[in-house]
């Protein structure tokens, strides 16, 4: 049903107040949120939760997606594909999201995730930190659509239209300090919703990291949508990262915190298996995974095998970052 209840960016519900967030002086947060140039969050919230229909696309739809009226966003035609776009139904029912499952069919279990309300914290070595509602954040950013190749380290691949904003646009607003050299991203920690977070052996919550140079690269996208609408939960609602020249595990889903650091941050997969997953994770067909070749990849829709491209074909944008 339509809701008239508009949350302010600084309004952190009591139950979500962590020891960290209680340090936030309300006036300071209000002031620092000036980085987004905000007024109140605006926009008509869409109708009730989607009922499970058995349709993997529909079932993953967010409860109250942020900024729904901003879709479809204009396509940035600089990014073209050498392969067909993967059908939405297939991309939406073949996912990795270890918080919910170690298998691929998790669109059903990921529907337990509550994505509204959702705050994102900007913290660490940054001139303008803050906590903001994701709706406010998205409305302050320039949304666009891009067709990108996507390559998982497990050697499956797809090509999808993401909607989002360049990470660079956010970084320019929040002004990292000179000492900041890395960005650390953190996913939610909610064992009541994400069953696999109840069990040990994994370094929950999922974290990832980039250098600042990688984060401001033109390719680096903070994703809010896919196939012309808000991103469903199995794809990482309401906000996830996409770095198309890196293996898919760098593309952290359902982000709650973005922190600027001086040191290279520990990451989920690198902590679990450092000999298999390095911090950089750049797609490279000539560096095999210890347990399989990275020379080719399998398209998840057709089953076709294609040769894997260095930097997943994005060397024009990123090769200069890694020259010695
Ligand atoms: N929080 C979180 N983010 C994550 C993962 C995860 O398990 N948890 N899996 C990663 C991996 S291994 C891949 S390949 C991509 C898959 O994205 P997709 O399901 O939208 O295709 O998400 C990445 N982001
Ligand atoms: Mo992956």
Residues 6+ apart with CB under 8 A from 151: 157, 244, 247, 248, 283, 297, 308, 312
pLDDT tens per residue, range 253-306: 999 999 999 999 999 999 999 999 999 999 999 999 999 999 999 999 999 999
The model's confidence at residue 58, banded by pLDDT at 50, 70 and 90, is: confident
Q: State residue 53's pLDDT score.
A: 53
> Quick count: other Cβ atoms within 10 Å of Cβ 91?
24
C-alpha angle with apex 232: 54 to 309, nearest 5 degrees?
A: 110
Q: Is the CB of 95 under 6 A from ligand 1?
A: yes
pLDDT tens per residue, range 109-151: 999 999 999 999 999 999 999 999 999 999 999 999 999 999 9
Q: Is the CB of 297 under 6 A from ligand 1?
A: no
| C-beta of residue 281 within 8 angstroms of C-beta of residue 264 | no
* 30 vs 66 pLDDT, higher one: 66
Model confidence at 20: pLDDT above 90: no
pLDDT tens per residue, range 182-216: 999 999 999 999 999 998 789 999 999 999 999 99
Q: Is the CB of 187 under 6 A from ligand 1?
A: yes
Atom of ligand 1 nearest to the CA of 91: 21
The model's confidence at residue 324, banded by pLDDT at 50, 70 and 90, is: low
How remote is the CA of residue 252 from the centroid of ligand 2, in Å? 10
| C-beta of residue 126 within 8 angstroms of C-beta of residue 257 | no
Ligand approaching nearest to the C-alpha of 253: 1
> Among 53, 103, 86, which residue's Cα sits nearest to residue 160?
86
Q: Quote the DSSP letter at residue 277.
A: -
Q: Residues 11-23: what's their mean pLDDT?
A: 29
HSE-up (13 A, CA, CB side) for residue 118: 30
Q: Is the CB of 308 under 6 A from ligand 1?
A: no
How remote is the CA of residue 242 from the centroid of ligand 2, in Å? 12
Mean pLDDT, the chain, whole residue set = 86
pTM of the model: 0.86
Q: Which of 51-60, 171-180, 233-242 has the lowest mean pLDDT?
A: 51-60
Q: Is the CB of 253 under 6 A from ligand 1?
A: yes
Whole-angstrom distance, CA of residue 185 vs CA of residue 136: 19
């Amino acid at each position: 049903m339509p809701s008239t209840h508009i949350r302010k960016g600084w309004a952190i519900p009591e139950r979500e107040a962590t020891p960290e967030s209680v340090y936030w002086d309300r006036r300071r947060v209000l002031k620092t949120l000036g980085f987004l140039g905000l007024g109140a969050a605006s926009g008509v919230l869409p109708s009730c939760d989607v009922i499970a229909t058995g349709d993997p696309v529909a079932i993953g739809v967010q409860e109250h997606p942020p900024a729904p009226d901003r879709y479809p966003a204009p396509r940035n035609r600089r990014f073209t594909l050498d392969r067909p776009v993967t059908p939405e139904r297939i991309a939406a029912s073949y996912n990795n999201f270890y918080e919910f499952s170690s298998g691929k069919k998790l669109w059903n279990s990921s529907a337990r995730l509550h994505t509204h309300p959702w705050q994102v914290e900007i913290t660490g070595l940054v001139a303008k930190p803050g906590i903001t509602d994701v709706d406010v954040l998205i409305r302050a950013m320039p949304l666009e659509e891009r067709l990108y190749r996507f390559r998982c380290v497990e050697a499956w691949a797809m090509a999808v239209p993401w909607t989002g904003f360049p990470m660079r646009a956010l970084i320019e607003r929040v002004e990292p300090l000179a000492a900041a050299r890395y960005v650390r991203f953190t996913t939610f920690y909610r064992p009541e919703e994400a069953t696999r977070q109840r069990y040990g052996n994994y370094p929950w919550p999922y974290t990832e990291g980039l250098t600042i140079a990688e984060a401001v690269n033109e390719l680096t996208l903070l994703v809010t949508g896919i196939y012309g609408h808000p991103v469903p939960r199995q794809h990482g609602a309401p906000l996830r990262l996409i770095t198309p020249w890196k293996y898919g595990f760098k593309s952290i889903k359902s982000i709650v915190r973005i922190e600027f650091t001086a040191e290279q941050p520990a990451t989920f997969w690198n902590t679990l298996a450092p000999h298999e997953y390095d911090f950089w994770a750049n797609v490279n067909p000539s560096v095999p995974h210890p347990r399989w070749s990275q020379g080719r990849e399998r398209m998840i829709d057709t089953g076709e095998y294609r040769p894997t491209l260095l930097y997943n074909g994005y060397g024009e944008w990123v090769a200069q970052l890694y020259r010695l």
